[in-house]
Amino acid sequence: MYNGNYFDGKTSRGYAADIDLNADGLHISFTDSDLKRVVIIWDVAQIHKGHFSNNQRVTLKYGESPIQFLELNDPQFFSALAAAYPHIEFNEPSSEFIRSNGFKGIVAVTIGLVVLAVGSYFFVLPSVAEYFATKMSVEMEVKLGDEMYEDVMKNYHIDQRLTKEANEYWRAMHVKSPYLVNITVVHESEANAFALPGGQIIVYDGIIKEMTDYDEFAGLLGHEYSHIKLHHSARMLCRNLAGYIFISILLNDASGTLAILASNANSLKELSYSRQLEHQADEGGYELLQSKNIDPNGMMKLFETLKKSHNSSVKVPEFITTHPLTEERIAYIQDRLKKDKVSYSDEHRDLQNIWKEMKSED
């Protein structure tokens, strides 16, 4: 008996399977999604000729649309398969190609295909997956974000008072958006915040405790909302999970794609945005404050708060890990403030009053 993974070709999900080489064919037994034990039999004559095999893995294909797959991390399996069914030619290379090109030609083509496959995996697939994220509908992003939110929040305890007030603050900013933005404040000491696709923003109460002015909080929300508006979270997740998404797309399994992304929700806290994406979020946050006549100096105050938090702790705050506070980012805001000739005279009493409530003790 051998152990491997069985794919039915209908979804991207794999099932841990036991494989027996019997006289009437390959017996593949596994527990399906309904927790029922299933046994299927592959007619060895119907196994596709040609296989992928290296020192670690053997992959076989079977049947027609949908094509089934079998993967085994056992280098002895293919030899055992050939020995059990000596009358079947599982691997059938072209003899004419061998005669015309010889062994060196085969090696050259093999190396070329490997280089092409590796290059496509590391350079082409991530970019394609990131492009896919930018084309998600709002409805799909919201569904993804809601599923991720349910998974993420299992690890946190919500501060109900601050959550209520933070959402009142956002509504008082009157930001027009295709997303219904929902802010959740959780009890965590680190100076951190992160955004999920579709409008969910998670804020640690540790960063609220470090802030002093209402426009800092506006800068934080503006920055995180820009990540949502520009699909940054979805783009980074899709880029990191490109291989899994590619298989789901090939199998036309949209629900499988969402499931893969949603199950990796917690990795958002560890994603490191590129300098370009962080610059875009800083720019978006600055311009959002500016459009609402809120002094964008709040962005600079936010950076100062983060630097102070970073310098006062041995542990690097997660916000700085996931949103690296580079000198370029600080210089950009400083330069914008110098060029900004607008006077921000509106005191935003509504925002200030909500902020005072947020900073008050229970």
Q: At 192, which helix (H) or strand (E)?
A: none
Split at pLDDT 50, 70, 90, the class of 98 is: very low
The pLDDT, as a whole number, for residue 67 is 80
The pLDDT, as a whole number, for residue 241 is 55
Report the pLDDT averaged over residues 35-54: 79
Give the CB-side neighbour count of residue 180, counting CA atoms within 13 A: 4
More confident residue, 71 or 201: 201
More confident residue, 335 or 101: 335
Contacts of 134 (CB under 8 A, 6+ apart): 231, 234, 235
Split at pLDDT 50, 70, 90, the class of 127 is: low
The pLDDT, as a whole number, for residue 150 is 85
The number of helices, as runs of H, and strands, as runs of E, in the chain is: 15, 10
The pLDDT, as a whole number, for residue 345 is 64
Of 143, 280, 296, 266, the closest CA to residue 202 belongs to 266
pLDDT tens digits, one per residue of 270-296: 455 667 788 888 999 999 999 999 989
Report the pLDDT averaged over residues 220-230: 92
Fill in the amino acid letter for 261: L
3-class SS of residue 29: strand
3-class SS of residue 110: helix
Tokens representing residue 307 in the block: 């630097």
The pLDDT, as a whole number, for residue 105 is 47
Report the pLDDT averaged over residues 259-277: 55
Averaged pLDDT score across all residues of the chain: 76
Q: What percent of the chain has pLDDT over 90?
A: 27
3-class SS of residue 137: coil
Tokens representing residue 92 in the block: 């059938």
Report the pLDDT averaged over residues 84-92: 76
Question: How many angstroms separate the CA atoms of 72 and 87, rounded?
Answer: 22
The pLDDT, as a whole number, for residue 316 is 37
Determine contact, residues 14/7, Cβ cutoff 8 Å. yes
The pLDDT, as a whole number, for residue 134 is 63
Contacts of 4 (CB under 8 A, 6+ apart): 16, 17, 19, 70, 71, 72, 73, 74, 77
The pLDDT, as a whole number, for residue 100 is 46
| pTM of the complete model beyond 0.75 | no
Angle, to 10 degrees, between the axis of helix 242-250 and the axis of helix 232-240?
80
The pLDDT, as a whole number, for residue 188 is 92
| For residue 342, pLDDT beyond 60 | yes
Question: How many angstroms separate the CA atoms of 247 and 251, rounded?
Answer: 6
Range name among 3-17, 108-122, 197-211 with the lowest pLDDT average: 108-122
Determine contact, residues 232/281, Cβ cutoff 8 Å. yes
Most confident of the following: 34-48, 129-143, 317-331: 34-48
| For residue 259, pLDDT beyond 80 | no
Most confident of the following: 34-43, 145-154, 343-352: 34-43
Burial (0-12, 13-18, 19+ Cβ within 10 Å), 260: buried
Determine contact, residues 60/70, Cβ cutoff 8 Å. yes
Of 148, 22, 33, 320, the closest CA to residue 6 belongs to 33
The DSSP-derived string for 48-102 is PS--EE-SS-EEEEESSSSPEEEEE--TTHHHHHHHH-TT-------HHHHHHHH
Split at pLDDT 50, 70, 90, the class of 230 is: confident
The pLDDT, as a whole number, for residue 137 is 77
Q: What percent of the chain has pLDDT over 70?
A: 67
More confident residue, 201 or 236: 201
Tokens representing residue 229 in the block: 């508006």
The pLDDT, as a whole number, for residue 95 is 44
Range name among 21-25, 156-160, 253-257, 284-288 with the lowest pLDDT average: 253-257
